[in-house]
A and B are shown apart, each in its own frame.
Chain A
């Protein structure tokens, strides 16, 4: 997002002018969270891909901490917080428990499970994990 903040801010304003809520997909990086705020966004969606793909527990803990801190910063700035990318039935619970995260966007793992058990059941099972 760096370098084209003006373009993003203009886009956000036009979309909001049409009555659309705007979120910006960002890495769990304080600079990107602040840039989303500067661009006038209503929300951010924190990229959980590095957390999901971490090969060691240590790496995963480090990525998790970044997500927690980004969520906290965003809340302090008055942004609403969503998260997503790479989340599945095994790794979703710690992310779902982070204070301030309102919504998770999950695609691949649910569609993959839906192929085997059906979409309705796949969604129900994920919802159970978010309780």
Chain B
């Protein structure tokens, strides 16, 4: 069986945050990724909210029809958000303030 593809859309939000504006819209990117055949959508909600925001997570939970994978640090605040929003999967990742990554 072919390996599945989870598309991480963090950097769509990175472009948006470059101007602190409302475009490009990560939710639209997720829909288009699914139309292109993505088996899942991955986002990393970071403590500093440098790209993906809480509203993105909540909207994606309603919109993503494949599988929503939330990457997050194992902090109390993030655990509470995950238990409330209920992504299909949480991937626990270490988080350092200066790392440059989407993962």
Cα–Cα, bound, A84→B29 (Å): 20
Q: For the complex, is A54 an interface residue (Cβ under 8 Å from B)?
A: no
Q: For the complex, is A91 an interface residue (Cβ under 8 Å from B)?
A: no
Of A15, A82, A84, which is within 8 A of B90 by CB?
A15
Residues of B within 8 A of A111 (CB): 8-12, 29, 102
Of B6, B9, B74, B83, which is within 8 A of A84 by CB?
B6
Q: How many residues of B contact A (CB 8 A)?
A: 39
- Write out, one digit per residue, whether chain A residues 117-131 have a CB within 8 A of any chain B CB (1) or not (0): 011111110110011
> Which parts of B47-103 form the interface with A (CB within 8 Å)?
69, 71, 74, 79, 82-83, 86-94, 101-103
Q: Is the CB of A85 within 8 A of B2?
A: no
Chain A contact patch, size range: 35 or more
- Write out, one digit per residue, whether chain B residues 19-45 have a CB within 8 A of any chain A CB (1) or not (0): 000000000010011011111101000
Q: Is the CB of A82 within 8 A of B6?
A: yes
Q: In angstroms, how far is the closest chain B Cβ from the Cβ of A111?
A: 4
Residues of A within 8 A of B83 (CB): 14-15, 18, 20
Kindly list 16 other residue pairs between chains A and B, CB separation below 8 angstroms, not including A19-B86, A20-B87, A105-B7. A8-B74, A12-B92, A18-B82, A22-B91, A25-B91, A49-B103, A84-B103, A85-B103, A103-B3, A106-B5, A107-B8, A111-B29, A120-B33, A124-B36, A127-B38, A130-B5
Binding site for A on B (CB under 8 A): 2-12, 29, 32-33, 35-40, 42, 69, 71, 74, 79, 82-83, 86-94, 101-103
